[in-house]
């Protein structure tokens, strides 16, 4: 399965072109699921698992992967399906991922292939579906519906991240001028709530959108009414989003004479020098890896206007 991941460097060329690649997999049913390849380190066969007393029921156990102890999560159970049988004879796979500053494995029943899709064809999940809260988006591949899982929500169920900014940060924010609203753009409901909570603790208001296209339409409406400076302090946007990714959103903002002066911070679960370089190429002001409330607070205060 290593052939799925070994050409990552070539795949980076897709970034900034409003395209991505999805790794398709199954969770014991005929439904096809997907995860962005950039979150995937490798796909391995079933590892030897060691069970830890007191661990989350969503964790099958831990495995030693390349000298590192990694929690293996039953992804089916995490999104409300029946638990996958951790059977030594089962031909299952583990998708080893890295995001939100953590490495974890997802136990899946089978892995299919990698497909190249345009973000414009990736849509928000249909409302009212049983798994809506665990999906960030859906798309269609070869006539089959692909459900893209909100792995950040799954991660939050198991790893409880700090949510509050420090008292020192709040004190710093108190001496700042009364701020305008900050636009938060993220397709993950969990991520939006995390960001909004931290921003509100600093005394800032927020406006939110779930994808880059919706955010751009909102900003263009403000520009048309000459209300940009009166309405928006800065933009904090995810990179991976349906309809329009964060890189494309940033470029569109920089191309609009009424929007180009706005500070844009790209905030992503994908970290590393590659993203820092891409942020500069796209024209964003800064990059921040998810999720640390104090680092987020420091970025907000850094780019708050003093006029």
Q: Which of 211, 66, 73 is nearest to 153 (CA)?
A: 73
Task: Let me know whether 136 and 29 are in one domain.
Answer: yes
123: domain CATH number is 2.40.50.180
Task: Let me know whether 220 and 114 are in one domain.
Answer: no
Task: Let me know whether 293 and 201 are in one domain.
Answer: yes
179: domain CATH number is 3.40.50.2300
Give the end of a domain, one of 158, 192, 224. 158
For 193-224, the pLDDT digits (tens) are 999 999 999 999 999 999 999 999 999 999 99
Spatial contact of 34 and 139, defined as CB atoms under 8 Å apart: yes
Task: Let me know whether 96 and 236 are in one domain.
Answer: no
For 16-51, the pLDDT digits (tens) are 567 788 999 999 889 999 998 888 999 999 899 998
Task: Please check whether residue 307 lies inside any domain of the structure.
Answer: no
What is the overall mean pLDDT for the chain? 85
Q: How far apart are CA 165 and CA 170, in angstroms?
A: 7
* pLDDT score of 4: 44
* pLDDT score of 273: 55
- 0.85 cut: is pTM over it? no
Task: Please check whether residue 248 lies inside any domain of the structure.
Answer: yes
Q: How far apart are CA 21 and CA 38, in angstroms?
A: 8
Q: Quick one: pLDDT band at residue 85, thresholds 50, 70, 90?
A: low
Task: Let me know whether 141 and 11 are in one domain.
Answer: yes
Q: How far apart are CA 304 and CA 168, in angstroms?
A: 17
Give the end of a domain, one of 135, 158, 181. 158
Task: Let me know whether 56 and 177 are in one domain.
Answer: no
| Total number of domains in the chain | 2
Please, what's the b/e burial string for 59-92 (b: 16 or more CB within 10 A of its CB; e: otherwise)?
Answer: bbbbbebeeeebbbbbbbbbbebeebeeeeeeeb
Cα-based angle 20, 23, 26 (whole degrees, multiple of 5): 145
Task: Let me know whether 146 and 293 are in one domain.
Answer: no
Overall average pLDDT of the 177-201 stretch:
88
Query: Which has more confidence, 137 or 184?
Result: 184
- Residues 6 or more apart whose CB falls under 8 angstroms from that of 89 comprise none
Domain that residue 95 falls in: 2-158
Task: Please check whether residue 235 lies inside any domain of the structure.
Answer: yes
Q: What is the CB neighbour count within 10 angstroms for residue 54?
A: 4
Task: Let me know whether 138 and 198 are in one domain.
Answer: no
């Amino acid at each position: 399965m290593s052939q799925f991941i070994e050409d990552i460097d070539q795949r980076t060329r897709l970034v900034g072109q409003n395209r991505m690649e999805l790794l398709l997999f199954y969770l014991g049913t005929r439904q096809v699921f997907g995860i962005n390849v950039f979150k995937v380190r490798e796909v391995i066969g079933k590892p030897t698992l060691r069970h830890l007393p007191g661990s989350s029921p969503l964790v099958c156990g831990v495995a030693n992967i390349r000298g590192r102890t990694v929690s293996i999560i039953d992804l089916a159970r995490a999104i409300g399906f029946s638990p996958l049988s951790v059977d030594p004879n089962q031909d299952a796979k583990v998708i080893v991922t890295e995001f939100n500053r953590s490495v974890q494995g997802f136990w899946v029943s089978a892995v299919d292939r990698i497909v190249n899709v345009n973000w414009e064809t990736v849509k928000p999940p249909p409302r009212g579906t049983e798994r809506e809260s665990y999906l960030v988006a859906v798309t269609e591949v070869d006539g089959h519906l692909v459900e893209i899982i909100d792995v950040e929500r799954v991660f939050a169920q198991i790893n409880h991240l700090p949510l509050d900014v420090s008292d020192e940060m709040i004190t710093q924010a108190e001496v700042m001028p009364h701020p305008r609203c900050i636009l938060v753009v993220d397709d993950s409901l969990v991520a939006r709530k995390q960001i909004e909570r931290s921003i509100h603790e600093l005394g800032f208001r927020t406006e939110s959108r779930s994808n880059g296209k919706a955010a751009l339409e909102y900003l263009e409406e403000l520009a048309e009414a000459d209300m940009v400076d009166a309405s928006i302090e800065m933009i904090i946007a995810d990179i991976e989003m349906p309809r329009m990714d964060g890189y494309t959103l940033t470029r569109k903002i920089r191309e609009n004479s009424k929007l180009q002066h706005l500070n844009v911070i790209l905030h992503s679960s994908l970290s590393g020098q590659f993203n820092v370089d891409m942020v500069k190429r796209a024209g964003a002001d800064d990059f921040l890896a998810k999720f640390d409330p104090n680092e987020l607070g420091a970025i907000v205060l850094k780019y708050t206007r003093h006029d």
